Structure 1
Amino acid sequence: MTDRKKKNSIKDDVLFLVLKIVVFLALIAIMLFFVFGIFRCGDNMMSPAFKDGDLAIYYRLQKEFQPLDVVVIEKDGETQIRRVVAKSGDSVEITEDGLKINGYLQQETEIYTETLPYTEGIAFPITLGENEYFVLGDNRSNAKDSRIYGAVKKEEIKGTVITLLRHRGV
């Protein structure tokens, strides 16, 4: 009788362990698919902050974005990482002098290239409507960003980047 109780006890323990593992994996899947996202950077338009091959982990539930936030966007069927430089109600102008937000020339300490307008892009100045954001790549001389396709709608922003996993030749 005691052998049978031990076998049932072991069987119950194994089933309980399997149940715990299944619940844990389900929670991880929910977190990855609904709360967080992972995006592999496929270009150098955000260099040196993000480089080709880097993995960005982003938070999907944030709904308000501020200038300097780095976001993952879905624009024209293409997923990109870009930096928010202006939000709803702001006026953006890019001249030979650089980036002006609401008439003030921006001093961006983390940007190492000049911010100049593109000849084939949108016309400036532009005033952002409700739930619109102006995004730029950090590599300003080589980025496909709001200078080309205009303002990004809130619905096109997938989330805010919270961390970066640097690709090191793997």
Structure 2
Amino acid sequence: MNQRLALKQEIKELGIKIGLLIIVFSVLFGFCFGFIANPDDSMSPAFCEGDLVLYYRLDRTYVSNDTVVMKYKDRTIVRRVVAVEGDTVDINEDGQLMVNGFVQQESHVFTKTYPYKEGIEFPVTLKKDEVFLMADNRDNAQDGRIFGPVKRSDIKGSVMLICRRRNL
């Protein structure tokens, strides 16, 4: 009889522990972290379509070269910060990104950078709390060349971890 009570007590304690773990993970992933599947190849080769991306929601201090997650129209996308408030972004006739008059050496970009005809006018100077985002795969990517500077408040968070789901 004592063994049955002890077993019931252990099962009850296990249920409480599992419930607490579920609550802790819900809070963490509801407020601190986010998890998405990368929707396209616009950040390749660093991020491929379908890669799982873990991002941190609480940090709002972005610097150049940070990778962030943001909502654009009805999609959640991953883009790289190329300039922050006070910087002037331009694209020269040779297809090079320029920030504050200096050509950027981007080791993760393998194509030239050209403005879109339907996009914004360059040069653009970023205001307070704005960042400029671009994709690594600059051909046909929807990035700051189309939607312009982004408010820090429109960014969901900074990327912490990538989990490859293909090409392993």
What is the CA-CA distance between 1:154 and the residue it aligns to?
0.8
- Paired residues in the alignment total 167
In 1, the alpha carbon distance for the partners of 2:14 and 2:76 equals 39
Match of 1:132 in 2: 130
Q: 2:75 aligns with which of 78, 81, 105?
A: 78
Are the counterparts in 2 of residues 72 and 161 from structure 1 also a CA contact under 8 Å?
Answer: yes
Match of 2:50 in 1: 53
- Runs of 5+ unmatched residues, structure 2: none
Alignment of 1:123-162 (within 5 A): 123-162=121-160
C-alpha distance 25-80 of structure 1, shift in aligned 2 (>3 A): same
Match of 2:99 among 93, 98, 101: 101
TM-score by length of 1: 0.93
Greater Cα radius of gyration, structure 1 or 2: 1
Correspondence list, 1:24-63, <5 A: 24-63=21-60
What one-letter code is carried by the residue in structure 2 that aligns with 1:90?
D
Deviation at 1:27, TM superposition (A): 0.9
C-alpha contact 2:39 2:76 (8 A) present in aligned 1: no
User: Is 2:17 the partner of 1:20?
Assistant: yes
TM-score by length of 2: 0.94
One-letter code aligned to 1:74: K
Runs of 4+ in 1 over 3 A off after TM superposition: none
What is the percent sequence identity of the aligned residues? 43
Alignment partners' CA distance in 1, 2:30 and 2:163: 18
Unaligned runs of 5+ in 1: none
Amino acid at match of 1:9: A
